[in-house]
Structure 1
Amino acid sequence: MRRLHPLLACLCGLLASRVQAQPPARSLGVTVFPVGAYVLSDTEGGREAGYSAGLAWSYRREASLLEVGGHVASSRQLTEATPMSLRITPPGPRRVRPYLGLGLSLMVAHALREEGATRSLQLGAELCGGFDVELGGGLFLSAEARYQNFSATGSPFAGERQALSSGFLGLGMHL
């Protein structure tokens, strides 16, 4: 038993130094998207297009395959947000990091399209994809495309749906 004490002490020392030497690398990224465009397709087949700007965030650990992100974007006609989406991305540090994600989105139209219409919060699903290119110094360029499918009424399970397709280019910073 006395022979195990030095061995256990060495093993504990090695494990403790290993744990202290490599804390998990985490990254919170905030991106400003000053350049964005969208196309909104309604239930009757009509389309509305415009320019948009947005703000996005993401949180990831270098060794993880998943990251959490979200965004808010606004234009003259509408504001849409995805508070949280789960994204799949390659683990580890990379100069170019692609991702693909799913989330739950919210949309509010600013202008009423019909005279009898009421403003309502519309719920829907989002599919997003994009990539970040590291520039150094904690800065990165970001490009993102999103497809969102919203209820045309206040009920998220209504059969009448409208689609919002959008693309954004921006500059981000790791905090």
Structure 2
Amino acid sequence: MRHLRIPLASLSVLLATQAWAEPPARSLGVTVFPVGAYVLKDAEGERGVGYSAGLAWSYRREQSVLEVGGHVASNRQLTEATPMSLRLTPAGPRRVRPYLGLGLSLMVAHGEEVARTLQLGAELCGGVTVELSRKLFVSGELRYQNFSANGSPFAGERQELSSAFLGLGVHL
């Protein structure tokens, strides 16, 4: 038993320091995108262009290269949302943080001339956040989304939505 005193004491000190260590830094960010623009290309090849606004969120751990995010945006023609996208981003604390992500999107067209069906599609997004202070940041994001034209996610008729957003965010 005497021979185990030093290893057990070392192990208890190690466990105690791990228990009292500061947990890994986490960050939940919420961004308001008041400035956005979009181009919608429908299945017939016609284009619609306009302004859009949105709200986005992201969650990351400081030492992780994965980030989880999502958004909702609306304009005169449609409302689209990506409840969750997975993003690759550099690990560690950075003032400028680029990311590239992939997610599943939902879109509902509104207007009197269109049927209001829920359309499913995929999203590819890329962006950059620039930290202004410990709590505030500026964010820019580009998105490419490809939706079914009739509600079936595997339909051959597709619509493309390209959009760009600029906004101000806060870490909660």
State the 4+ residue runs in structure 1 displaced beyond 6 angstroms.
Answer: none
Query: For residues 31-78 of structure 1, what are the alpha-carbon distances to aligned partners after superposition, in whole Å with 9 as ceiling and x for unaligned?
Result: 000000000001111100000000000000011110100000000111
Q: Within 1, Cα distance between the matches of 2:152 and 2:87?
A: 26
Alignment map for 1:116-131 (pairs within 5 Å):
117-131=114-128
Q: Is the 8 A contact 1:122 1:155 kept in 2?
A: yes
* Unmatched tracts of structure 1, length 5 or more: none
- Which residue matches 1:157? 154
Q: Within 1, Cα distance between the matches of 2:160 and 2:126?
A: 16
- Which residue matches 2:138? 141
Q: Is the 8 A contact 1:112 1:119 kept in 2?
A: no
Instruction: Compute the TM-score of the two structures, normalised by the length of structure 1.
Output: 0.94
* Unmatched tracts of structure 2, length 5 or more: none
Q: Is the 8 A contact 1:26 1:62 kept in 2?
A: yes
Moved more, 1-10 or 135-144: 1-10
Amino acid at match of 2:61: R
- Which residue matches 2:20? 20
Amino acid at match of 2:124: L
Q: Within 1, Cα distance between the matches of 2:12 and 2:158?
A: 59
Q: Within 1, Cα distance between the matches of 2:69 and 2:105?
A: 12
Q: Within 1, Cα distance between the matches of 2:163 and 2:75?
A: 12
Q: Within 2, Cα distance between the matches of 1:105 and 1:98?
A: 21
RMSD: 1.2
Query: For residues 115-144 of structure 1, what are the alpha-carbon distances to aligned partners after superposition, in whole Å with 9 as ceiling and x for unaligned?
Result: xx5210000000000010001131000000
Amino acid at match of 2:117: S
Residue 3 of structure 1 aligns to a residue whose secondary structure is helix
Q: Is the 8 A contact 1:109 1:119 kept in 2?
A: yes
Alignment map for 1:61-140 (pairs within 5 Å):
61-113=61-113, 117-140=114-137
